[in-house]
Structure 1
């Protein structure tokens, strides 16, 4: 679960870098950042599209915030939320993702926003990468490799996940019990999920991560993830241990961690 959205003016800068934001490389794209309170996006595209990205962030936040004003428990619940046909589209996607993974809808918020922004930017750019707190929407012309950031694990940024086909867009989302602001009851350094739905990848990463309190639970957690409809692949890192399943190809990354 991510922090509850709020309302503050937006700002954009172009020179912001964090280690986990150097995950998707090798693309000849322009990079820029868009910040709107808790929403903090790093975007790569064929052209600088700060205005278009900011406007879509405001739309997404407005819809989510409006729904929370009407249903405050939506922002707090850790269990699936009932389906509501008349909720805004992004809220429906969060609800569906949470129900599929067995978690609360806010576990899908970062992935849902990343994809919603990315889909809009595809009207202006042939290739788009939108990263939102470790959750990434990717639409490129060919295969990409995303570095796996896993905090203090010796495997962090030593392994990359090669995603062969992003022609229709794909979500690659990471949850951690040791890094960042995601709410996780587990202790995995990284749980990365690949899905055609970025919201589902986000929710599934949380659900799988909740089941890992020691490296010995990696196998059973991945087995759980296999049965979430729509999940294409899972990679888990806990300390020095790692496990993977599905449509993911692991490749070594050059250089030192970070």
Structure 2
């Protein structure tokens, strides 16, 4: 769905130790890194199964849901995670599966809250975080980028929960029609952040496209900030606090 099972998630090797317990859960293509107050692997596995089943069953009923690169109509009878994906696609102008990684990350994080006060779920580079302390989220624009290992976003405790989702046209497995090294979006809605990251990246074919793309994303309600990188140029807008990793 959101990732190929054999992908080597090299960026996870750079996670810094933090409070709580970190663990991995993989169900077919869905491969999560989670940090919570305790080892909630079983609960996370059950939640992933539930949300994947809802998405795949809806896709069997409406096959376009899994393949369309264009927005599809909202469906008030669909499961909540599907409604979030449909809504995000409509709002941004992309297919609903552009929001799947973020949607699963948020749904799992929210589903774990009965057992933990803090939780971070990362799904293919898309994160949803609930925490009482400030967090630093690194942005990886590729091994040849001048910004490699130099750039991160600081999320203040009072701004959480928050989704941080990134799309790239130069690395990774995600479908992108652009050439941005990184297109990162912040929102309280992870499905929206994921869809917007895809749409933002799609608009960047040349470094001169960075500023127009950032101007466009300011028009999307619910987006709190965005960052885009191509080659040696960077553009940022909104609630973006840059720091070092």
Q: TM-score range by the shorter chain?
A: over 0.9
Correspondence for 1:215 among 194, 200, 207: 207
Determine if the alignment matches structure 1 residue 118 to structure 2 residue 109: yes
Q: Name the CA distance, whole Å, in 2 between partners of 1:133 and 1:23.
A: 14
Aligned residues: 242
What whole-Å deviation, never above 9, does each CA across 1:109-146 have from its counterpart, x for those lacking one?
Answer: 00000000001111111110100001001011022110
Q: 1:19 offset after TM fit, Å?
A: 3.6
CA-based RMSD of the aligned residues comes to 1.9
Asked if 1:188 corresponds to 2:168, the answer is no
Q: Kindly tell me: are residues 240 and 178 of structure 1, through their superposed partners in 2, closer, same or farther at Cα, counting changes over 3 Å?
A: same
- Once the two structures are superposed, what CA deviation does each residue of 1:153-196 show, in whole Å capped at 9, x if it has no partner? 22123111011146652110000111111111001111110000
Map 1:26-175 onto structure 2 (within 5 A): 27-152=18-143, 153-165=145-157, 169-175=161-167
Could you tell me how far apart the structure 2 residues matched to 1:227 and 1:249 are? 20
Residues of 2 paired with 1:197 and 1:221: CA distance? 20
TM-score by length of 1: 0.89
Deviations 1:61-101 (A, max 9, x none): 00000000001111111111101100111000000111111
Distance 1:46 1:64, change over 3 A: same
After TM superposition, the structure 1 stretch with the greater mean CA deviation from structure 2, 207-216 or 161-170, is 161-170
Q: Secondary structure at the match of 1:187?
A: coil
Can you give the 5+ residue segments of structure 2 that lack an aligned partner in the other structure?
none
Assess if the C-alpha contact under 8 Å between 2:2 and 2:124 holds in 1: no
TM-score, normalised to structure 2's length?
0.93
Which of 176, 189, 193 aligns to 1:201? It is 193
The Cα shift of 1:210 comes to 0.2
Aligned to 1:13: none
The answer for unaligned runs of 5 or more in structure 1 is: 9-16, 254-258
Q: Structure 1 residues 116, 52: closer, same or farther in 2, change over 3 A?
A: same
